[in-house]
Copies of this chain bind each other. A is one copy, B any other.
Amino acid sequence: MHTPITHQTTLTSVKENIHLDEWSASHTDLPLDTDAQWSIKKHTLHGGKQEGVDMIELDNGAMRITIIPTRGMSIYDVSYGGLRLGWNSPVKEIVHPQFIDMEDNGGLGWLEGFNEWMTRCGVEFAGHPGEDNGRLLTLHGKIGNIPTSEVQVVIDKEPPHRIRIRGKVHEVFFNGPNLELWTEVSTVPGSNSFRIDDVLTNKGKLEQEFMIIYHANFGPPLLEQGSKLLGTIEKLQPFDAHAASEVQRWDTYHQAKDGFAEQVYCIYPSADSDGNAHFLLHNASADQAVSFTYPKEQLPYLTQWKNENTGGYVTGLEPGTGFPHNRSIERKYGRVPVLKPGASRSFGLEYTIHKDKEEVKAAANAIQNLMQQPPQVIAEVIGK
């Protein structure tokens, strides 16, 4: 079946019983008021644990974004002008959820599929495995391993013709949460930035706790000896004793070392006058960077995960509704929000890739100018 592209095209649908294995469209199929040679391709992966996994490649003519409908609309990687957002996980295949057993290894089964640039943690719960009211919560929840129910390509009719890949991911069980997450990844043809715009709705009849963490992960070339993180930060605090031991170098990175244990910092962002938090990660020579911004109120906390070892050299910069403790701890500290029946919460993040020294400098300066004083660095480990 050939499905021609329109301004709204369905690639997968439970409602319409549609699932396109292979599909593609480009600027020649749907003329837009842009010179960018954009294209969208959907294909299916084969072999090993990735047999049957859907992938979507959204190329805006300058930036390519790969999205995984089979894994809750996670973003595998992003490339712009030779710079790749992503990392080199030892997990090489894009693992079908059928091969993930969340309960494995004391609730760490999520780690068998962890290799994306960005995966959402949540949404009934996120964070470390452990008991909460007698129930084992598994690492980082289910949403990143739920296959997407509705997948759509939506292209704005008006310039600048933003291209949106939308997906509905439904986390539900009987007598449990009924949380519907509409995800969207979008970009304007030819641009060096993209957005994530999600809406989480409690479709249930009772109040429902939720947690969401945008687990975005950056490896080389952005991450290297001398890379640095900037941000509008009010204060930060180490997650454990090992992180506390080097809290003063929280914003810098060293090279990957065999067996060097992860260090995690709990960051309380501040916001500009529009309420937006801003962060930027640049490489050692400050000529390549990614910056991102989002309304602080939507995601009041950010976890900085420094994994400076050779088992997967990566830093997670993870805006969230809380920190990655088990929900039992997050609840104790008031970081587990609640949705009333029918209520929604929106989350919107914009990422921009900077490819030359001037551009990096300008973006870094903009953040510096928002900081009246340096972040308050708290030496003690955060409460548990």
Contact = CB atoms under 8 A, between A and B. Distances in A.
B90 A174 contact: yes
A47 B14 CA distance: 5
A206 interface: yes
A46 interface: yes
A115 interface: yes
A176 B203 CA distance: 37
Given A147-B49, A174-B111, A258-B206, A98 B98 contact: yes
Given A46-B17, A93-B170, A170-B93, A175 B104 contact: no
Contacts of A102: 101, 104
A66 interface: no
B258 A205 contact: yes
Interface size classification for chain A: 35 or more
Interface SS of A by simple majority: loop
Contacts of A204: 90, 311
A172 B104 CA distance: 13
Given A14-B92, A19-B46, A101-B102, 8 more contacts: A12-B47, A12-B48, A14-B47, A14-B50, A17-B46, A97-B98, A98-B98, A108-B173
Interface of A: 12-15, 17-19, 43, 45-51, 89-93, 97-99, 101-106, 108, 111-112, 114-115, 134-136, 146-150, 170, 172-176, 178, 203-206, 258-259, 309-312, 341
